[in-house]
Amino acid sequence: MATKPTITITFKQLATTLIQRSERGTAILLLNDATGASESGTNITTKVYKSVADIDESLYTEDSLAQIKSCLSYTPFEVVVISGNSTKFSDFAKAIMAVRRTGWIAFAGSEAPQADLASWIKSMDKQGYTYKAVGTQKGADNKQYVYFNQSVTDNNGNEVSAVNYLPSLLGILAGCNITRGCTNFLCTDLLGVTEVEDIDAAISGGQLVLANEVNGVRIVAGINSLVTLNGNTATEDMQYIETVEAMNFIMDDIRDEFKERYQGSYKNKYKYQMLFIGAVNEYFSNLAGEDVLDNEFENRAEIDVEAQRSAWMGIGKTEAADWSDDKVKSMAFKRSVFVACDIKILNCMENLKFTVTME
């Protein structure tokens, strides 16, 4: 039966071995702002800003302008502002996918769309998209969703609710990108935060927590909302934002490389599969040079021998069970390319155990 072409990249983690990466610093800020709307409907407006000088102030209320500037203050690569006369997330979903295929998302100033945004993020994750979001919906239990729920005090002494502080967090998370973790990140626009009763319990429950330190308000641990682990596709390392960023980045880049240069352009044979795999391994080498991957680890992709063997056996080629690995590699299966890789992501330093012995 003829089927739609599929590109499936599955990242798995075995034991303590890390695997994969994410993103390019795009913040997607959703606003319920009717300023740019017409009477005919929601009239969704999309604008891209890289600095405060770019902002078209005629399109927004004072509150919206403040939220956009708060996001930009943490220097993400870009802020995509999608505004409209609505608090329904469904009114914004198509606009998001039309303008960017990945990025950090937050709906500022309203609790109404938070549950739907979290649900959409989980749905997109299942489909292989790498959208991520920060919001106030508890219990999302997903590596692409960051849960936050603390009121804060800004530098002017004003109390700000969690949902209204989302633009700043959005800027922080997009700005950190893959270059650094957000653990211990200083929130320079805050004087204080209403602390949670039990920090350890909150973090264990998948909540991003801010805490008052002597020199300012800082993010305690850069975690997402993932709490249900299976030791394979949902592991402890995947609870950390920087690990998921790396996973998403690699997934997007490899998928793009395959789709743009190989899919439909080359016949499916060993020689051409190795062209693709060679490109992937060169890519891994470059990431190791940038300290995204560990340059002391092999970080290599190769033909997934067992998956390809199973594919042949699945259509009745029982003799494939006795083929050598080299034979399997040379026997490309129909229109499918089976690749496996083993790579190690570098994480930032967080924990310190320092023992002092005095004689």
- CA–CA separation, 229 vs 222, rounded Å? 17
For 68, counting Cβ atoms within 10 Å of its Cβ (0-12 exposed, 13-18 middle, 19+ buried), the class is buried
- CA–CA separation, 208 vs 185, rounded Å? 12
For residue 252, the model assigns a pLDDT of: 86
Blockwise average pLDDT, block size 10, the chain, 359 residues: 67 32 74 75 87 94 97 95 95 96 96 98 96 98 98 97 98 89 96 97 98 96 97 92 91 87 94 93 87 92 97 96 97 96 87 84
For residue 104, the model assigns a pLDDT of: 97
For 53, counting Cβ atoms within 10 Å of its Cβ (0-12 exposed, 13-18 middle, 19+ buried), the class is exposed
What count of other Cβ atoms lies within 10 Å of the Cβ of residue 112?
A: 14
pTM > 0.85: yes
Cβ partners under 8 Å of residue 249, min gap 6: 21, 22, 23, 24, 178, 292
For residue 8, the model assigns a pLDDT of: 67
For residue 19, the model assigns a pLDDT of: 30
For residue 359, the model assigns a pLDDT of: 84
For residue 42, the model assigns a pLDDT of: 65
For residue 179, the model assigns a pLDDT of: 75
For residue 188, the model assigns a pLDDT of: 97
